[in-house]
Amino acid sequence: MSVITTEKYRIHNAQQFVESLTEGLRTYGANTATANANSVVLTISGNVFSTMRVGDILVVNNESRLITAIASNGRAVTVNTSFSSAISNTLFKTREQLAQHDTYYLFIGRSTPWSQSDTSPDTPIDTEQTSYGYLRDALALRRLNDTDVAYVVPKYVWSNGATYQMYDHRTTRDEFANTALGAPYVVTSTNDVFKCIFNGRTSDNVATTAISIQEPTIAGVASPSDLVTSDAENNKFYVWKYLYSIPEIAAQKFETAAYIPVINPSDTIDSGTGDVQSDSSATYAVFDAARKTGNGAIYQIVVNEGGSDYDPNNTPAVIIEGDGTGAEASVRLTGNVVTGIHMVAYGQNYSFANVSFAAASGTGAEATAIITPRAPFSNTSGTHYISNHGINPRHELHAHQVMLYAELTGSEGGLITTANEYRRIGIVKNPVLQSGEIASANTYDLLTALTVSTADTFSKDEIVYQAATGAYGVVVEQSGGVLKLTHVSRVSFSTTVNDTTILGIGNGNTVAVRNASNDQVPSALPEMFTNLVDASGSTATVTDVAVPDILLQTGEILYVNHVTPVIRANAQSEAIRTILTF
């Protein structure tokens, strides 16, 4: 049995992941919410009664509150708890209350050195055991919101003198990704994205591809349905199709040296006409809903075999037979051989087309009509399946990768340590609070805090140990009388045992733990503790223990990346971009 997983299935999986961050989320761009800091009643500057329900979640400034009442005029909304700060003229969103709404967090962790060398990170291992450990030594969580995710594709910058791969519906996924055949699309110096429709080749032989010597541009183009033609070598030419422009805010977050974000024009549909636009204006409409124009056009016919003995004075007619109408083409001969086909009219509504030649002389010429890509989109008049370039760049550019963006600024109000490094970056789904609820806040500190009654100094990355309980953990930072620990043992530190002393034991390889008979027995430390600092010998008395809000054995680890140490500072911001491939 032979089976393939199609490219569209991979794209589908990427879309399902993105939708899981935004499912049930409605954004009110034309409305604002105003309330006092301590109030649970918000005034909305527009009637939203028809789109809000009691039990929905009101989301303002990334804080979420349950809606408990809505006034009959739809402009006064009561939530279960006041927001943390005053709200004034602030855009808001609502989210349907789901039995289990997925939340995703970026986590950073591993303050201790790698087992061999910090220049050679350990290889992540995917087992149930390691998935627990990834959060046990994590430092902090940062929530990923609907604005922190984008579809991305590899970045190919247009370059003078390069060759590019033309669109061909026969191209396989591997061929599309094979840049040795030429990049299939480009981003220009003005951050406009074009796909290559024709690359000047004179036959189906890719060796005849021309070089590109003129950067494509939309300047002076009346409509994106018009293809952009640029000069190339030896009187050949390139044809480009404008797809979209990358907005500045999207470029800042999601464009890197290796990737560009994908912007779908179906996200900017004219609510009156149903037309699809590539830049939110009628100037660049790529589909006319009323006339269905642009659907199923044939922009190119490539020559597979040139044949022989054709009469230059009686060029053969091109016959196009398919389920559409209006496509017309003419033949170009070199000597007695068919070397090219010129499209006179693109036609419309083709999903297949066969090409043949009618001639009094000559024989053997064969050609293939290149069928435009077929993709779904929804507008005001319903869902359509349209064949055209530019309708769905996610499908056309094979966007089965997703970028997640998170920015860490300083200590984030004391919730993310700046006193130590991190070496692990990951994504966790649905971590659970100590209360049993799914986490929803923007940032969580995952360190256990021990308040101690001594000013003794412990070393970062050493183990502190409480003999009376057998509890241990690794020091991340010390601020006066507060020690913050990661990778705390399942046995808890205590302030009520006979001896509440803790001891810095450093790079020892065993500790004593309590068994069922309450006897102390040696226990091997986890492997991650074998490369720590030497013991400081410091001691302290524990007076208070504060555990993280998150239950560290919860959540599903979706992604782990081991890196060389990232040093943090209070005045430092870090943009963390994570790529998920489906």
* CA proximity to 441, closest of 86, 59, 175, 164: 59
Q: How far apart are CA 439 and CA 429, in angstroms?
A: 10
Q: How far apart are CA 304 and CA 364, in angstroms?
A: 10
User: pLDDT 10s per residue in the chain (582 long)?
Assistant: 455 556 766 776 777 777 677 665 565 555 566 655 557 887 776 656 556 677 777 777 777 788 888 776 667 788 888 877 777 766 676 665 544 567 889 999 998 888 888 888 888 888 777 777 788 889 999 999 888 889 999 999 999 999 999 998 888 888 888 888 899 999 999 999 999 988 877 655 555 678 888 899 887 666 655 677 777 665 668 888 888 889 899 999 999 999 999 987 644 444 445 455 544 444 445 555 554 555 788 888 988 888 889 988 888 999 999 988 899 999 888 888 888 888 898 888 888 899 999 877 888 889 999 988 877 655 444 555 667 787 778 888 999 899 999 988 888 888 888 899 999 998 888 888 888 788 888 999 999 999 998 768 888 888 888 888 888 888 999 988 899 999 888 788 889 888 888 877 766 555 555 555 555 555 555 555 656 677 777 888 999 999 999 988 888 888 899 999 989 888 888 899 988 888
Residue 124 phi, psi dihedral angles, 5° rounding:
-60, 145
Please give the model's pTM, rounded to 2 decimal places.
Answer: 0.77
Beta bridge partner(s), residue 24 = none
Residue 137 phi, psi dihedral angles, 5° rounding:
-110, 20
Residue 83 phi, psi dihedral angles, 5° rounding:
-80, 160
Report the alpha-carbon angle 269-272-275, nearest 5: 40
Q: Are 450 and 542 in contact (CB under 8 A)?
A: yes
Q: Kindly state the helix (H) or strand (E) to which residue 11 belongs, with its residue range.
A: helix 7-22
